[in-house]
Amino acid sequence: MRRPDRSRMGVMVVVAVQILCAVFFVANILMSVLGLAPISWQVSELIELGAAFGLLLGVIVGIVVLRRTLARSDLMESRLQRASGAFMAGLYARFDEWQLTPAERDVALFAIKGLSGAEIAALRGVSEGTVKAQSNAIYRKAGVSGRGQLLSLFLDDLMVLPTAAQSAGVVAPVVSDVPSLADGTGVSAAVAASGVPSTVAAPPSSGAA
């Protein structure tokens, strides 16, 4: 279970203080309207001072929280822009590697965005047959059989892009080599690496009596 940080707890305390201050002022007004016996002026003055201090503290904390929120939003937007720029750089590097023509680059971009052949043809002002021929040329140069495999290439690039992950402050998952569990040695190696006492016996070899 995630424990709340100190800043969140501080905000909650300030909000609670502001609620108490609001309750005091509303109760004071109701007492005057209903004609109830007021409390002594000394106590009333002390409570009013505390309420005013609580409201002032709430304003200060609100400004600090707003500044932190805006700064965090700007940071996330900046990281997203850097990651997007790194992905586009990898995209154009692929196009250069495949030696696509300018027309084929446009068709490839539209295809990656999910547009159909008819939509691409309408946007480029050409026939669907031309778009189909250009798409086939793209698939041939990329070494894939269709749009699905073409998209999978860029999805793979997106998942392993070091530049995007590092510039965006994203920690890429670490994939470790896992021993094969097909035989007993794989099981033993995996258990030994984890440091957990083995409770699974390795299967006997075929040569055992």
pLDDT in tens, 26-42: 877 787 777 776 677 77
In a domain, 178, yes or no: no
On whether both 108 and 64 belong to a single domain, the answer is: no
CB atoms inside a 10 Å sphere around CB 104? 18
On whether both 106 and 72 belong to a single domain, the answer is: no
- Identify the pLDDT of residue 107: 92
Please give the Cα distance from 6 to 10 (Å, whole number). Answer: 6
In a domain, 66, yes or no: yes
On whether both 103 and 72 belong to a single domain, the answer is: no
Domains in the chain: how many in total?
2
In a domain, 155, yes or no: yes
Please give the Cα distance from 147 to 151 (Å, whole number). Answer: 6
Instruction: For CA atoms 127, 130, 134, 136, give the dihedral sign.
Output: positive
Q: Which CATH number do you get for residue 106?
A: 1.10.10.10
In a domain, 45, yes or no: yes
On whether both 107 and 63 belong to a single domain, the answer is: no
DSSP H stretches of helix in the chain: 6-34, 41-98, 102-112, 117-124, 128-142, 147-160, 162-167, 184-194
The list of the chain residues with pLDDT below 70 reads 1-7, 10, 37-38, 157-158, 160-209
In a domain, 202, yes or no: no
In a domain, 193, yes or no: no
For residue 55, give its domain range: 1-77
DSSP 209: -
- Identify the pLDDT of residue 158: 67
Enter the pTM of the model: 0.42
In a domain, 192, yes or no: no
